[in-house]
Structure 1
Amino acid sequence: MTSEALPLDAAHPFARASDLPYGLPDFRELREEHYLPALRAGMAEQRAEVDAIASDPAEPTVENTLEALERSGRLLHRVASAFYVQSGAESTPGLQAVEEAVAPLLAAHSDAIWLDGRLHARVEALAARLEADGTELAPDTAWLLHRTRTRFARAGVGLSDADQERLRAINTEITSLDAAFGRLLLAGANAAAVLVTDEAELDGLPDDARAAAAQAATARGHEGAWLIELQLPTQQSVLSLLRDRGLRERVLTASLTRGAGGEHDTRRTLLDLVRLRAERARLLGFEHHAAYVAADATAGSAQAVEAMLARLAPAAVANAREEAADLERALQADHPGASLEPWDWSFYAGRVRQERRALDEAQLRPYLELERVLADGVFHAAHLLYGLTFAERHDLVGYHPDVRVFEVFDADGTGIGLFLGDWWTRPAKRGGAWMNSLVDQSTLLGEAPVVVNNLNVPRPPAGQPTLLTWDEVITLFHEFGHALHGLLSAVRYPSQSGTSVPRDFVEFPSQVNEMWAWHPEVLRSFAVHHETGEPMPTAWVETLLAARQDGEGFATTEYLAAALLDQAWYRLAPQDVPTDVEEVEAFEARALRDAGVDLRTVPPRYRTTYFNHIFGSGYSAGYYAYIWSEVLDADTVEWFAENGGLRRENGDAFRARLLGRGGSIDPLQAFRDLRGRDPRIEPLLARRGLLRAAR
């Protein structure tokens, strides 16, 4: 063991498992300087544990090989989970330095395990003996053996020594570049925030949003001004509210040009990532990275992904063109002779919706207060479906003062885990919304789940309520669907816990959970005016429900454009990846044109230069997963409807057959066990208004 991986001093916060409820890391004691030595010690400890497994002279068994491997690395897991939760939501310079130092070490550590020929031989010997003996394993153990063997193969254990050496170098560089992309993107987004000095330009922005913008400006040293901070996607929520066309253009232009030059240019980093992933795929015997990813997902092949996206794109674009014609007419009323631009879309979509349905999103926000949506919406639906209750634990703290901690109880009053919520945007917080796990549920280890949800909602001034847009309400329900997947996990092995499922399946439960935001009983419960206590007018609720398909042409097209762009980059051979950063925009334009989704007024949900999902967050060649999972989601929504909807019996069935099983079974088999058949695409087509056009 080197001096860089010394055993931790007894006083170190990670020297022992946390004695807080459910193993919550003790963030009161943790400091930035604690992470790097603990990560190094964790890697050294696991390497020693794996070496002991690989060199064990005893005949390999499930217990001394598979389960021993599952038990290994507990220190590393505790430290890495806490570190990545904190660094994603509070990326200080100190944590960024730790990530930069540790990323290549962690890549090398993973390779050291999964390219260990002795360990692989032991697993293969176990599989051969079990097959020869006719031993029938428990389903979760059989699946664990299958996935372990698959992981070895996909890691490259069968390659020559020279190819393995190159593979290790590639993996190390990819890990470093992933982290670098995230750092550049965060810094670039902060730098691109739009400063407003003339309040008249903010016409249409509600008072609470205006106050949040003033607070953000003051925090960055611009007293008396307003700062519009950028969200991760291309479209920004303020665009639906701002009446000033010039400011709308400034905001969207700032969004669209992130990462395309200047101090925070992401293009060199992303091109290197595309080339390295393409080279790795070839080394491992795949045509390209997209094929490598799809082979280990429920899609099965890149051709299946391509076929689905190609089926949906023409119908979505046709719908978007029809929507654009309506918006153009509305624009002409304000600006005769003007052409519809991307920065006009959200604003005039709202105008058209208001004219057709008397629905104004700005009027909805006072009825969508965060606390009420959380308690009487998200938590209430979970209680009705699964019997869960939630109690805030003010005695427990998270990694930042904004974080709130809730203990989660089952229907019988038994505590099952902790849920942490971190809702507000901060300069040091990466964009978007996501779920993390701090502790994975596992009966093998006797651990219960601790999960985290992050959003990026503008923080109002002290004492003022946090009012949400309807999209933010849906995001809150979506991310809590991921949290439920973790909280309701009931598996033996930690590697199968909760959301440890293929990338194109993991979004399925979270998308199902969105349906409860629209359910009349749940909606009536949380849609209450934050000042008067009056429920949202019934006519508004009915209009909101009736308007669910409005704008689906735009929404589907901007999503598909991003998904197809992801596929285009990751279907390249190494030699075909552009070498000049100036070629990035041209490649993107060609890819969108070739896929038939190059609508000038509907830019991709993420352009290449700020596509964090595929260059910094583990979704490379996997952004298609959202709509692939939505096939399962839409079909499951029909299953709920066929069986009486919001009923405890349905929640219990969904929990037992799907949520609780995590990654302990073939995910499509779990779906079949719930639905009684394979998934059908027709419910998705109907939901998105594509049923007739996609035939």
Structure 2
Amino acid sequence: MPNENPLLSPSTLPYGLPEYAAIRPEHYLPAFEQAFADHTREVAAITRVRSMPTFENTLVPLEESGRLLGDVARTFYTVSSADATAEIQEIEEQLAPLMSAHQDSIQLDSDLFWRIRTIHEQLVELDLTPEQRYLVVRHHTEMAHAGAGLDDPAKQRLTELNQRLSTLTTQFEKNLLADTNDLAIVFDDASELDGLSEGELSAAAQAAADRGLEGKWVVTLTLFTGHPYLSSLTDRGSRARLLAASRSRGSRGNEHDNRATLLEIVRLRAERAALLGYDSHAAYITSDETAGSPAAVHDLLRRLAAPAARNARREQAKLQALIDAEPEPFALEAHDWAFYTEKVRAAEYDLDRAALRPWFEAERVLQDGVFRAATDLYGVTFAERADLGGYHPDTRVFEIHNADGSPLGLYILDLYTRDTKRGGAWMNSIVLQSRLRGTQPIVVNNLNVPKPAEGRPTLLSLDEVTTLFHEFGHALHGLFATVTYPHFAGTNVYRDFVEFPSQVNEMWIYWPEILASYARHIDTDEPLPAEVVEKLHASEAFNQGFATSEYLAAAWLDQAWHSLSVDGAAADIDVADFEAAALSDIGLDNAVVPTRYSSTYFAHVFSGGYSAGYYSYIWSEVLDADTVEWFRENGGLRRENGDRFRGRLLGVGGSKDPLEAYRDFRGRDAEIQPLLERRGLAG
């Protein structure tokens, strides 16, 4: 009965926040079963209508349909990403093919597609608002793209492919989480961690204690290839152990090996693309993105790769020269790069980034940095709601109000790493805003900051500060999007546009009044010295050869895998050999600059939503860098600027073509020159 399952009754909490304290794992599958049945019945009611299709009798009820399924799914997947216990993982594995089959039953419904296609064909004649008109276009495009126009045998095969892929991508993520946890490095002596701060040592000791290893230290791995501690550890052997563990994930020949899984994913994605009429999965994906084609993506990546690789080689030569001057010189290796980069940074800019942590206490960064920038720019205010609980004790809930005092939504922050949380950082929505449904947004930010021992402050690295501002940019997008139809809510935009608002929000990290507000010493409250700020600005392009190369290498790997034709993907492929050939092809095969993600732990593309789309970060950064120029030209952190950016870009959600929205904001298309200058590639 509904009153026995909290997922089947409307939440009594503000904004519809799920009552996580009452939800148990055994509630999820029955709730999904009910939600699938409800959604199927709702869509059937649309297709049974005997009158000719109209916007009111087709699109409106379609947007109303599936509400329970959306609520249950967002509630569950928030937990499965951030607190994936063994029980939750088992549910997710069972759910993956069921969810895929249900989605196909809706997206491939011939009767529904006929109704939408009929409306689409009459679109010019219809009296609709711009948002309604675009809704028709997007539903028609997305159903056609999903295969709704195929014949029945092709649809049957497509459904089989989608179900199998959903199982494989879930398995990939499960394998990666398990192998990442297994490969956490245990250190027996604190001397092996020389160079880490007191707070970092405390976090390593706490991680060991949590695993029952009292008196030892455990360093957990990050999602990407490198690790923040590589820049500080003085023990070369410790650095080597850390990087080797990171790079071996998913390829050790154990039960968590991801090589066979990813190869099957690549083969099935290529087969699906061919079934849908495309040469490759990359062609299929980019056809409904702003890029339009793999050729456009490849052109940008190749244009940037050559100068990035040259810059990385110049940086490498500087590092090697520093090592050659030591009493016992050696050849630079990948695990040495970050450590000696900091030495060069100190020599050239008199700047030690690791020593900046005492100025970046997490609570102050959040309240006086991230929140203050949003308040100054958009007028929104934040109040913590200790009376509202999230899905885990570490979560914190904040209520947000607009400048006029009207309620906007809820923001949930989940800062710390744990073994049940997947790696990386992300934003997701729990409740979507919609005028049609009368709902307001709830968004979540997840990071993976090591948690210090009880009573110790959380001191962030500059990279972690950047991540917090970045993810909060996604959160603002999810909070500010104000649309009628849930299809357009929040960050429901093209994948290669979705990173743009988050990247723009990073600009406030160094904005003078914001930096002066949050970057204050934990003990003395002294602001970050002006000379240090000047050095940070002076060194912004420092090490960009490495940073750009490692990113481009990963983006190119994604394109290489997903540009395979169905015949090419069916070949006998050795994963390591394929990677080496792909990186050689684009000139990013420098052994001391490893790709940011190798295939076996490339969660973005093999278990996330970025398959053939990891290029999105650099693609969006073209818009971002151009937007930063606009803010600087127009006085920066001013309410008028924030209102324009919110109203013309963030506020439209997915209800408008994103490049059209950008032109409306900027007055023209974006230019690439600001990006080239930012990354030191202009020459």
- Which of residues 456, 464, 485 in structure 2 aligns to 1:472? 464
2:622 partner amino acid: V
* 1:493 is the counterpart of 2:485: yes
* Corresponding residue of 2:316: 324
Deviation of 1:521 (Å): 1.3
2:260 partner amino acid: R
* Corresponding residue of 2:673: 682
In 2: Cα distance, 1:152 partner to 1:656 partner: 29
In 2: Cα distance, 1:574 partner to 1:34 partner: 40
SS in 1 for 2:640: helix
* 1:250 is the counterpart of 2:241: yes
Residue deviations 1:80-102 (CA, integer Å, cap 9, x gap): 00100011000001111111111
Residue deviations 1:9-33 (CA, integer Å, cap 9, x gap): 3331022221211111011111111
In 1: Cα distance, 2:298 partner to 2:582 partner: 13
Alignment of 1:163-182 (within 5 A): 163-182=154-173
Superposition CA RMSD, Å: 1.0
- Which of residues 213, 219, 239 in structure 2 aligns to 1:222? 213
* Corresponding residue of 1:82: 75
Deviation of 1:136 (Å): 3.6
SS in 1 for 2:412: strand
* 1:671 is the counterpart of 2:668: no
SS in 1 for 2:651: helix
Q: Contact 1:578–1:584 at 8 Å: present in 2 too?
A: no
Deviation of 1:580 (Å): 5.3
1:677 partner amino acid: R
In 2: Cα distance, 1:324 partner to 1:226 partner: 32
In 2: Cα distance, 1:212 partner to 1:125 partner: 60
- TM-score between both structures, scaled by the size of structure 1: 0.97
1:164 partner amino acid: K
In 2: Cα distance, 1:545 partner to 1:381 partner: 19
Q: Contact 2:203–2:452 at 8 Å: present in 1 too?
A: yes
2:439 partner amino acid: E
Alignment of 1:450-529 (within 5 A): 450-529=442-521
* Corresponding residue of 1:100: 93
- Which of residues 29, 37, 45 in structure 2 aligns to 1:44? 37
Q: Contact 1:477–1:514 at 8 Å: present in 2 too?
A: yes
In 2: Cα distance, 1:104 partner to 1:395 partner: 37
- Which of residues 186, 194, 208 in structure 1 aligns to 2:199? 208
* Corresponding residue of 2:350: 358
1:470 partner amino acid: L
In 2: Cα distance, 1:494 partner to 1:159 partner: 27
2:236 partner amino acid: R
SS in 2 for 1:416: strand
Q: Contact 1:672–1:678 at 8 Å: present in 2 too?
A: yes
* Corresponding residue of 2:14: 21
Q: Contact 1:271–1:579 at 8 Å: present in 2 too?
A: no
* Corresponding residue of 1:587: 578
In 2: Cα distance, 1:177 partner to 1:84 partner: 17
Deviation of 1:211 (Å): 0.8
* Corresponding residue of 1:550: 542
In 2: Cα distance, 1:614 partner to 1:432 partner: 13
* Corresponding residue of 1:394: 386
Alignment of 1:358-377 (within 5 A): 358-377=350-369
Residue deviations 1:617-648 (CA, integer Å, cap 9, x gap): 11000000000000000000011111111111
Deviation of 1:578 (Å): 6.1
In 1: Cα distance, 2:123 partner to 2:176 partner: 49
Residue deviations 1:416-468 (CA, integer Å, cap 9, x gap): 00000000000010000000100011111110000000000000001111101
- Which of residues 242, 256, 278 in structure 1 aligns to 2:270? 278
* Corresponding residue of 2:4: 11
* 1:56 is the counterpart of 2:49: yes
Q: Contact 2:119–2:136 at 8 Å: present in 1 too?
A: no
- Which of residues 97, 111, 132 in structure 1 aligns to 2:104? 111
SS in 1 for 2:311: helix
* 1:154 is the counterpart of 2:160: no
* Corresponding residue of 1:5: none
CA distance 1:335–1:157, change in 2 (3 Å)? farther
Aligned sequence identity (%): 55
Deviation of 1:546 (Å): 1.6
Q: Contact 2:447–2:468 at 8 Å: present in 1 too?
A: yes
In 1: Cα distance, 2:611 partner to 2:536 partner: 35
In 2: Cα distance, 1:451 partner to 1:645 partner: 26
Deviation of 1:579 (Å): 5.8
In 1: Cα distance, 2:407 partner to 2:217 partner: 44
* Corresponding residue of 1:195: 186
* 1:120 is the counterpart of 2:113: yes
* Corresponding residue of 1:234: 225
In 1: Cα distance, 2:555 partner to 2:604 partner: 10
Structure 2: runs of 5 or more not aligned: none
Residue deviations 1:489-526 (CA, integer Å, cap 9, x gap): 11111110110000000000000000001111111110
* Corresponding residue of 1:138: 129
Structure 1: runs of 5 or more not aligned: 1-7
Q: Contact 2:491–2:654 at 8 Å: present in 1 too?
A: yes
Deviation of 1:335 (Å): 5.7
CA distance 1:235–1:303, change in 2 (3 Å)? same
In 1: Cα distance, 2:674 partner to 2:529 partner: 30
SS in 2 for 1:663: coil
SS in 1 for 2:542: coil
In 1: Cα distance, 2:284 partner to 2:314 partner: 37
Q: Contact 2:100–2:162 at 8 Å: present in 1 too?
A: yes
* 1:336 is the counterpart of 2:328: yes
SS in 1 for 2:455: coil
* 1:403 is the counterpart of 2:395: yes
Residue deviations 1:628-683 (CA, integer Å, cap 9, x gap): 00000000001111111111100000000000000000000000001111111111
* 1:612 is the counterpart of 2:603: yes
1:568 partner amino acid: A
In 1: Cα distance, 2:599 partner to 2:123 partner: 48
Q: Contact 2:2–2:9 at 8 Å: present in 1 too?
A: no
In 1: Cα distance, 2:452 partner to 2:570 partner: 44
In 1: Cα distance, 2:642 partner to 2:416 partner: 30
- Which of residues 341, 346, 351 in structure 1 aligns to 2:338? 346
Q: Contact 2:497–2:616 at 8 Å: present in 1 too?
A: yes
Residue deviations 1:287-336 (CA, integer Å, cap 9, x gap): 10001111100001111001000100000000000011111112223363
2:471 partner amino acid: E
| Residues matched between the structures, number | 682
Residue deviations 1:337-372 (CA, integer Å, cap 9, x gap): 311100000011111101111111221000001000
Q: Contact 2:123–2:133 at 8 Å: present in 1 too?
A: no
Q: Contact 1:474–1:514 at 8 Å: present in 2 too?
A: yes
SS in 1 for 2:21: coil
Q: Contact 2:273–2:281 at 8 Å: present in 1 too?
A: yes
In 1: Cα distance, 2:368 partner to 2:221 partner: 29
SS in 2 for 1:264: coil
Residue deviations 1:184-226 (CA, integer Å, cap 9, x gap): 0000000111111021111101111001101101111211111
2:299 partner amino acid: A
1:181 partner amino acid: F
In 2: Cα distance, 1:294 partner to 1:67 partner: 28
